[in-house]
Structure 1
């Protein structure tokens, strides 16, 4: 079976590009700098279901993304989570948190309705990620 991005993730995000393992998505919520990594591996729900090399690759990609986001936004905390309660496809949230953000110090989920980025800001954020992380253009949604 080929990999496909879950419809809910496709609906809530913009594709910034691809790392060797993961699709890089920007959550369309301007309240928080929020990026999601989705390993392009079919039928995976949990990190332990990835092969050992894929697990290491995901950790490297997550660390690289976290470092980039913290340097770019100068946040107070980086939240990294793979919950999957609503979307079963393995995906890892990376959310830069600030002591003065809407939800601090609580989790961001359910605190305020998402506020979409203006198109120019969303495109700029995706471009910054693509350049800063040296992303490849996204291959079609299935591979």
Structure 2
């Protein structure tokens, strides 16, 4: 297995690993602004999808789709964003990001500057966010069960 000493994704100390196999791992990301945010990280240090074999790409994307499906089922977001950049950390990984119309950056990307929000929009998110946080345990349990099957 290829590891790079200064790559934070090669060494997953402290990650909240929900599920893993010999090829990849699924990480819960604690982010109050985006409850349910999940990463799928390839274990070997590769930068691009095309560095994987066709079978490995299929295996990776099957897990990404399972994460998306579990998020849709348990968290009921308005939209799911899938992102695979690697510009800051050039190690193959996918962000599976549940989005709600009331979240602080919708409809922009979560990395974009936040658009101006009205007091009513801020209040709507403050009301919705704790309700979403209550669904995370069920989401994680359902995802783990789906990936273990």
| Superposition map of 1:50-129 within 5 A | 50-109=52-111, 111=113, 125=136, 128-129=139-140
Structure-2-length-normalised TM-score: 0.70
Deviations 1:18-55 (A, max 9, x none): 15632111112121120000012x22111111111000
TM superposition shift of 1:74? 0.6
Structure showing the higher helix proportion among its residues: 2
> CA 1:81–1:12 in 2, change beyond 3 Å: closer, same or farther?
farther
1:112-131 per-position Cα deviation (integer Å, ceiling 9, x unaligned): 7xxxxxxxx7xx94674255
Change (3 A) 1:70 1:20: farther
Distance (whole Å) between structure 1 residues aligned to residue 39 and residue 20 of structure 2: 11
Secondary structure, counterpart of 1:70 in structure 2: helix
Query: Residues 70 and 57 (structure 1 numbering): CA distance in 2 closer, same or farther, change over 3 Å?
Result: same
Q: 1:13 to 1:43 in 2, by over 3 A?
A: closer
Using the TM superposition, give the Cα deviation of residue 4 of structure 1 relative to its aligned residue in structure 2, in angstroms: 7.1
State the SS of the aligned residue for 1:7.
coil
Cα offset for 1:3? 4.4
Identify unmatched segments of 5+ residues in structure 2: 115-132
The number of residues matched between the two structures is 126
Superimposed CA distance per residue, residues 42-95 of structure 1 (whole angstroms, 9 cap, x where no aligned partner): 221111111110001111111111000011111111100101111111110000
Gapped runs of 5+ residues in structure 1? 113-120, 137-143
Alpha-carbon distance in 1 for matches of 2:138, 2:21:
14
Structure 2 residue aligned with 1:140: none
TM-score (norm: length of structure 1): 0.72
